[in-house]
Amino acid sequence: MKKLYTILLISISSLFIAFSSFAAPLKVGFVYLTTPGDHGWTYAHERARVILEEKFGDKIETTYVENVPEGPDATRVIRELANQGNQLIFTTSFGYMDPTIKVAKEFPDKHFVHVTGYKRSDNVATSNIRFHEGRYIQGVAAGLMTKSNKIGYIASFPIPEVIMGINAFTQGLKSVNSDATVSVIWAMTWYDPGKEADAAKVHIAEGADVLAQHTDTPAMLQTAEEKGAYGFGQGSDMESFAPKAQLFASVNHWDISYIEHIEAALDGTWAAKAAGGNWDTWCSMKDNCLSVTELKNMPADATAKVQAVADSISSGSFDVFQGPIITNEGKVVAGGATLNDGDLWGMNYYVQGVIGKIPN
């Protein structure tokens, strides 16, 4: 009799454990550089997180930590998220690369996805978007819309991704307007609305009539709107800030690659996919990771040309780093060939059409 009870108890409790492990949602953590209030970079990640919650419902449970500085603090926050039982952790800024690798070593059973980095391991995958595709299209639009043939570009920090963006933009610009040049101001910050606005004013005072940016706020576009210049939204649609100035915006869709990671984590295939540091996603317009908003404020023929370029990139039939690629010092990097991903990450030159030198 006693034995029967024991068996019953064991079976019930094992049933309970089995049931609870089925019902327990997958815990997913996010580390944000700023807050969703930036209306740019982090805002795009937050939008993806909300899409994930809607899609997976009670199968997942997400948490996020905002305003995490890149550095030792990040290590602490990522470790804390792992300790809290988050099985899958997304770290959403370049500077979290080493902290992510470090914490991942301490938690070999947990899954980590680092955004925009290049270091991977058995349990660290990377995810990135080919932002430069959107910037090429911006360059085409800028080349068609400029009257002064001077384009102002506001950049953040001289890292490969930003340089890639400037070069892609300029390749697009040169494809339709060989007289136009790009002047670059390095703001040395991702986020300072006042400085971004000042940089935009300076570009316009120096004669630029189309502006592009690799910083995070709508300040540049608002200045363009005030002064009657054109510009592009970056990261998310900024039309409400500059209805007359925004030609279009490049919008990031992180949910596409995040969904893949969550599905793999849910069906238990994540570890196998990432094994050996082999899971890297660098997805493009073709994969719907990047899109451009409706083209506006352009004459019909320019709209048609820009749309055609956008279509050829999103169908995958055109690569924005198709040669010839010539540096602004006259060196031929690629004659007719297309640059491969390794070439892109090693980019340390400006292409023809950009004024000045890259700060080192």
Give whichever of 102 and 357 is closer to other proteins, judged by the CB atom: 357
Give whichever of 26 and 159 is closer to other proteins, judged by the CB atom: 159
Q: Which amino acid is at 67?
A: N
CB of 61 to other proteins, least distance (A): 22
CB of 268 to other proteins, least distance (A): 37
Residues in the chain, overall count? 360
Is the Cβ–Cβ distance between 232 and 247 less than 8 Å? yes
CB of 295 to other proteins, least distance (A): 20
For the beta sheet containing 88-91, the strands, ordered from the edge strand earlier in sequence to the opposite edge, are 60-65, 26-31, 88-91, 111-115, 124-129, 280-283
Give whichever of 154 and 290 is closer to other proteins, judged by the CB atom: 154
**Residue linked to tokens 């055109």:** 318
**Size of site (CB under 8 A) for other proteins:** 45
Give whichever of 73 and 341 is closer to other proteins, judged by the CB atom: 73
Give whichever of 125 and 211 is closer to other proteins, judged by the CB atom: 211
Integer Cα distance of 260 and 52 in angstroms: 11
CB of 152 to other proteins, least distance (A): 7
Integer Cα distance of 215 and 201 in angstroms: 15
Integer Cα distance of 322 and 336 in angstroms: 7
> What binding mask, one character per residue, do residues 135-154 give for other proteins by CB under 8 A, x or -?
-----------------x--
For the beta sheet containing 150-155, the strands, ordered from the edge strand earlier in sequence to the opposite edge, are 181-186, 150-155, 210-213, 230-235, 246-252, 290-292
Scan residues 166-225 and list those touching other proteins (CB under 8 A).
183-189, 191-199, 201-206, 208, 217-219, 222-223
For β-strands 325-326 and 332-334, DSSP reports them as antiparallel
Kind and range of the H or E element at 143? helix 131-145
Give whichever of 206 and 311 is closer to other proteins, judged by the CB atom: 206
Integer Cα distance of 71 and 102 in angstroms: 12
Closest CA to 40 of 185, 284, 237: 237
Integer Cα distance of 33 and 305 in angstroms: 37
CB of 206 to other proteins, least distance (A): 5
Give whichever of 51 and 202 is closer to other proteins, judged by the CB atom: 202
Scan residues 7-46 and list those touching other proteins (CB under 8 A).
34-39, 43
CB of 50 to other proteins, least distance (A): 14
CB of 233 to other proteins, least distance (A): 11
CB of 174 to other proteins, least distance (A): 18
Scan residues 239-298 and list those touching other proteins (CB under 8 A).
240-242
Give whichever of 59 and 195 is closer to other proteins, judged by the CB atom: 195
Q: Which amino acid is at 207?
A: G
Stretch that binds other proteins, among 252-260, 294-302, 341-349, 351-359 (CB under 8 A): 351-359
Integer Cα distance of 141 and 222 in angstroms: 19
Integer Cα distance of 212 and 170 in angstroms: 11
* Residue 332, beta-bridge partner list: 326
Give whichever of 116 and 217 is closer to other proteins, judged by the CB atom: 217
CB of 222 to other proteins, least distance (A): 6
**Applying CB under 8 A, which residues contact other proteins?**
34-39, 43, 152, 183-189, 191-199, 201-206, 208, 217-219, 222-223, 226, 240-242, 355-357, 359-360
